Amino acid sequence: MSLSHIGAWLVALVWFAWASAVDTQLSLAAATSPWVPSLGVALMVAWAVRMEAGTLWALACLAALARGSFSVEPPVAILAGNLAVVMLIRFGRRSFDLARPIGRSLVAGAVAAGWVLWAWLVLFARHGEGAHPTWEVLAKAGASTALLTLLLGGYFAKLPGARALLERRSLR
């Protein structure tokens, strides 16, 4: 692994940390508006659909590390959620062209809705209580993140450090 690839992974960690911090602040507003998109999900999906399949696991661990730094959710649940996203994307890439804007945004919407459901399941398993999310809340979270990914997904691939990360053999 070259020095430029190490730098790219460190810059990716910074981008994920920034996105996780913004998501944490926006989630406070989610109590008043369920239309708040998930920036971390949009960033991960925009990069994951373009990356080599072997590097997706490292991307999931990096995203989990950044999200765990700003979240009160258990780190194991965050890692499991990110690994599930990677498996979904790896499966979807075999059947569909997810690098296209529509495919990328549909995946991001499904992942965002899945994160809301997964967060509730973790909360329910830990405490045995909590209001389950309605279909309307899941649809709004998915739609807002899908729209964000549709509009900005191409720009996320052009962020500083992303070019070296999205190249072939970025872990070698």
Helix (H, G, I), strand (E, B) or coil at 162: helix
pLDDT at position 79 over 90: yes
Q: Which whole number is the average pLDDT over 37-63?
A: 90
Mean of per-residue pLDDT scores for the chain = 85
pLDDT in tens, 66-78: 999 888 888 999 9
pLDDT exceeding 90 applies to what percent of the chain? 34
Q: Are 105 and 147 in contact (CB under 8 A)?
A: yes
* Extents of the domains making up the chain: 3-166
pTM of the model: 0.86
Higher pLDDT, 34 or 100: 100
Name the band, by pLDDT with cuts 50, 70 and 90, for residue 172.
Answer: very low
What pLDDT does 170 receive? 46
What is the number of helices (H) and of strands (E) in the chain?
7, 0
Report the C-alpha gap between 170 and 163 in whole angstroms.
10
pLDDT in tens, 3-26: 777 888 899 999 999 999 988 888
